[in-house]
Structure 1
Amino acid sequence: MDLGLAGATAVVVGGGRGMGLATARCLAEDGAKVAVVGRTAEALSRAAAELTGCGSPDAIGIVADVRDGEQVDSAFAELAQRWGDALNVLVNTVGPDVRGDFESLTDDQWRTAVEDGVLGMVRCVRSALPLLRNASWARIVNFSAQSTQRQSATLPAYTAAKAMVTSVSKNLSLSLAADEILVNVVSPGSIASEALTGWAEAIGVDGSDPYRLMDAITEHFGHPAHLPRAGLPSEIGPVAAFLASRRNSYMTGANINVDGGSDFT
């Protein structure tokens, strides 16, 4: 389906790998200019080359740590210089890597969860807003997690940070409605990301097999899906790309589960 993205400008924060790269790929295939932002220059360079091959004109990787406000501001200033002072799409996929049960988590780990999982997104939205407001149409898509609706005893800090992302996004959908900037959330379930497959390999499970991966998730976290396998990053990208596109013209403030089936909440 033509998403109406030809000639649009898009930034995917955390777009160097995983679900971020899968989203960036979908935007590129529809003809958008795509910039991927992250901390690892090598991954971003590879991603930009891949996106160019997918059809993105002037794809670019920009190194910036979203924990540093000055680096975030510089990244969007660089984009404005390169593409002009309008931006159509901002996608935030970065999340915290903080695990442990409630009693074992330290104050520093809680702070890290909020810093990495929430404030980075806040900084990116804040820096991008002037450019988004200058565009003839604009969309923001933030990544939360389905675990905010199905709790895990080993992920309280991660889940709390993701719940904050959902809440801030809902507020933005209201406050930016007058500007007709649509803001939505994607909440992935058990997706075979590098983090999840790495966890599986560490406990002796073949993380490349989505069926065995789901078996391990069910055993260790008690979170089975209706489908008998874990999802793939490539199954998240099209959903995020639709929400980021002109084809999505009246959906804002929504939280979309992509989780292989779960109880509605």
Structure 2
Amino acid sequence: MDLGFDGASAVVVGGGRGMGLATARCLAQDGAKVAIVGRSRDVLDAAARELTRLGSPDAVGVVADIGDDTDVHRAFDEIGRRWDGTLNALINTVGPAAAGDFEALTDDEWQAAFDAGVMGMVRCVRAALPLLRRAEWARIVNFSAHSTQRQSTRLPAFTAAKAAVNSVSKNLSLLLAKDEIMVNVLSPGSISSEALLHWADSVGIDGTDPYRLMSAIDEHFGHPAHLPRAGLPDEIGPVAAFLASKRNSYMTGANVNVDGGSDFV
């Protein structure tokens, strides 16, 4: 399907790895100019080379610390100069690494979860809005998580931060409707991301086996999917790309679950 990205531009925050990179690949294959934002120059450069091979006419890695508002604005100013002051799509994929029982989490860990999980997204949207408003069409996609709808006692800070992402995104969808900028949330389920594979390794599980990984998720977190396996980043990318695309012409304020089946309401 032609998503309408030919000649369009997109920024993927956290696009160097995992679900962010999977999303960036889909955008590149559809002909988008893609900027991936992250902290590691080597990772970003390698990803940008791959995106160029996949068909992006202008793939670039932009190093930025989304915890620093000045640095975020510097990054989007750089992107704006590169692309004539416009941007069609902003996809925020970065989330906090904040597992732990409620009583064990410190104030600093709670603060870090909200800074990485919410304020990073807020800073990026704020910096990108002038570019998005000048574009012929524009979309925002913010990554949340299925745990906001299916709680785990092991993820209170992570889940609270992602719930705030949902709330801010819903508010943005209302605010930006007059500009016809559509804002949606994508809520992945248990996806074999780098963070989940790291957790699996820490508890002695072969995370490369998606069936064994889902069994371990059931055992440790208590919320398996209906399907008997974990998902793959490449199963998230196409959905995020559609939400960020010109093809998505009438969906805004939605929370789209990609979770292998659940009892979400």
What interval of TM-score do these two structures reach, taking the shorter chain for normalisation?
A: over 0.9
Matching of residues 201-240 of structure 1 within 5 Å = 201-240=201-240
What percent identity do the matched residue pairs reach?
74
Q: Give the deviation of 1:202 after TM superposition.
A: 1.3
Matching of residues 86-101 of structure 1 within 5 Å = 86-101=86-101
Aligned partners of 2:149 and 2:264 also within 8 Å: no
What is the match of residue 173 of structure 1? Answer: 173
What is the match of residue 154 of structure 2? Answer: 154
In the TM superposition, what whole-angstrom CA distance separates every residue of 1:143-182 from its partner, at most 9, and x where no partner exists? 0000000111111000000000010000000000000000
Partners of 2:36 and 2:95 in 1: CA distance: 15
TM-score between both structures, scaled by the size of structure 2? 0.99
Matching of residues 191-202 of structure 1 within 5 Å = 191-202=191-202
Aligned partners of 2:16 and 2:43 also within 8 Å: yes
Partners of 1:146 and 1:112 in 2: CA distance: 20
Aligned partners of 2:38 and 2:63 also within 8 Å: yes
Partners of 1:81 and 1:109 in 2: CA distance: 36
Partners of 1:19 and 1:3 in 2: CA distance: 19
Partners of 2:163 and 2:225 in 1: CA distance: 20
SS at match of 2:6: coil
SS at match of 1:251: coil
Q: Give the deviation of 1:80 after TM superposition.
A: 1.1
Partners of 1:81 and 1:181 in 2: CA distance: 21
SS at match of 1:262: coil
Partners of 2:241 and 2:156 in 1: CA distance: 29
In the TM superposition, what whole-angstrom CA distance separates every residue of 1:113-137 from its partner, at most 9, and x where no partner exists? 1101000000000000000000010
Q: Give the deviation of 1:83 after TM superposition.
A: 1.0
Alignment pair present for 1:244 and 2:263: no
Unaligned runs of 5+ in 1: none
Partners of 1:139 and 1:22 in 2: CA distance: 18
Q: Give the deviation of 1:95 after TM superposition.
A: 0.3
Partners of 1:83 and 1:173 in 2: CA distance: 25
SS at match of 1:227: coil
What is the match of residue 11 of structure 1? Answer: 11
What is the match of residue 73 of structure 1? Answer: 73
SS at match of 1:257: strand
Partners of 1:34 and 1:58 in 2: CA distance: 6
SS at match of 1:65: coil
SS at match of 1:162: helix
What is the match of residue 138 of structure 1? Answer: 138
Matching of residues 108-119 of structure 1 within 5 Å = 108-119=108-119
Structure 1: which amino acid aligns with 2:240? A
Q: Give the deviation of 1:264 after TM superposition.
A: 2.8
Q: Structure 1: which 4+ aligned runs deviate by more than 4 Å?
A: none
Aligned residues: 265
Aligned-pair Cα RMSD in Å: 0.5
Partners of 1:114 and 1:205 in 2: CA distance: 29
What is the match of residue 103 of structure 1? Answer: 103
Partners of 2:54 and 2:168 in 1: CA distance: 32
What is the match of residue 260 of structure 1? Answer: 260
Structure 2: which amino acid aligns with 1:113? A
SS at match of 2:236: helix
